[in-house]
Structure formats: structure tokens, C-alpha cells
Chain A
Amino acid sequence: KAGVTQTPRYLIKTRGQQVTLSCSPISGHRSVSWYQQTPGQGLQFLFEYFSETQRNKGNFPGRFSGRQFSNSRSEMNVSTLELGDSALYLCASSLMDSGYGYTFGSGTRLTVV
């Protein structure tokens, strides 16, 4: 059974550019969440989606956005990149609408130069 797949694994972007990260959840999982991981701030919640609806959003600026498709795949977009956006972006999926048992992918390492 395939796990949570995130693409690309590594990305280098220039300040001011925008980036789109992709997440394919475990087959059958309908809930998808995104987290930002940095050495200073740790793991911080970005968004949560269930059945294409964003149900919750973390305390991030409007430059961070996301969406979920009908097949549960999700994307997140960061516009006007800043140096501080350099981080590991993690996607997690869960089978049920319970908030329990999230499985994480390996993440996308974004470096902004």
C-alpha cells in the first residue's frame, strides 16, 4: 500500500517567485492536512481539507493557499516567496473524518534564495 506521496522532494526558488507543492494521500484517505517544519518554529499547521473543503487554516499570511481535488489529492501554493518560507512542507492524510491517525509524507524541502 503506497504511503503519502509528496512532489517534488526538493525545490529551490528565488525570492518573489511562487511555488506549488503536490500531495497524493493514501488511497481512500479523504482528510489532508499541511504543516510547515522549521528548526526555529517546529511543526506548524497550515490547512486542513476534507471532501474538497478547507475546514481549518493556521496562522499564516494569505500568500499561503491550498486546495483539494475530488480525488483527495491536494496542492498548496505560496506566492511572492520570502527567505523565511524556506522549510520542510509536510502533508498528512487520514482515513476518516475523525482527526485521528494522520500519516505523514516525507515532505518537500523548499529553499528560497
Chain B
Amino acid sequence: GENVEQHPSTLSVQEGDSAVIKCTYSDSASNYFPWYKQELGKGPQLIIDIRSNVGEKKDQRIAVTLNKTAKHFSLHITETQPEDSAVYFCAASKGSGYALNFGKGTSLLVT
């Protein structure tokens, strides 16, 4: 089955700096790559997603890039703020009816 690896597991940045989280996937049939943010005591919240026909997508301070050939995708957060502190999960899926296969998560701390 699909294997999604996520790095780093923990990331500490200063307020205002950028943060980058990287994921790789194994199944070339995966075509949907969402990113979720999970705060303590809450469920994961979808923050941005990208489909395989797009190489990059941006939403204000958050951007995601996808390299289908290398089977990796990354989350970029610019001008980080303390409220960005949370656990971030990447996922890969083959779409309708298929599971979201999640990475193990990155704990981001902005100080």
C-alpha cells in the first residue's frame, strides 16, 4: 500500500521565519495531496491541498509544491506566527473511495 514519509518530526522556528515540511509518497497512482493542521484537543483542519495536475499552490502565507517525478511534496509557511504552532500532517490519496494515507506528523513550534 501507499507509504507516506514526513520530515522533520519536530521543527522549531523564530517568529517571522519560514518553515518547510517535506513528504514523500510511494504510490505513483496517488493524485491528491492535502495538508492538515492539528491543534491540541481538536481534529485535523485542512489548510491547503494540491492535485497532481498542479505543481504549486499558494494561499496567503501557505504554499505547497508537488514534484510528481520525484514523488515528493512540501509545505511552506512564511512569516510564521505563534498561532502557527501545531502538528502538521501531510497525506496522499488516489481520490474517490480511497483512504488518505497520512505521514507521521511534524510538531511545529514558533517562538
A residues with a Cβ closer than 8 A to B are: 4, 33, 35, 42-45, 48, 50, 55-56, 58, 90, 92, 97-107
Contacts and interface: CB of A to CB of B under 8 A. Distances in A.
**Which label, helix, strand, loop or mixed, suits the secondary structure of the A interface?**
strand
B66 to A, nearest CB: 15
B13 to A, nearest CB: 23
A45 B42 CA distance: 18
A4 B42 CA distance: 12
A105 B96 CA distance: 20
B105 to A, nearest CB: 6
B102 A106 contact: no
B63 to A, nearest CB: 18
B89 A99 contact: no
A42 B43 contact: no
Given A100-B32, A105-B43, A48 B97 contact: yes
Interface of B: 32, 34, 36, 41-46, 49, 51, 89, 91, 93-105
Contacts of A98: 95-96
Contacts, number: 64
Contacts of B104: 42
19 contacts: A33-B99, A42-B89, A45-B99, A45-B100, A90-B43, A90-B44, A97-B96, A97-B97, A98-B96, A99-B95, A99-B97, A100-B51, A101-B34, A101-B46, A102-B100, A103-B46, A104-B36, A106-B41, A106-B42
Given A99-B32, A99-B94, A102-B34, A33 B44 contact: no
Among B44, B104, B105, the one with the most A-chain Cβ atoms within 10 Å of its Cβ is: B44
Contact of A43 (B49, B96, B102): B102
Nearest to A46: B99
A98 to B, nearest CB: 6
Q: Which 10 A-B pairs have the closest CB atoms?
A: A45-B99, A104-B43, A99-B95, A43-B102, A55-B97, A99-B96, A106-B43, A104-B44, A42-B104, A105-B43
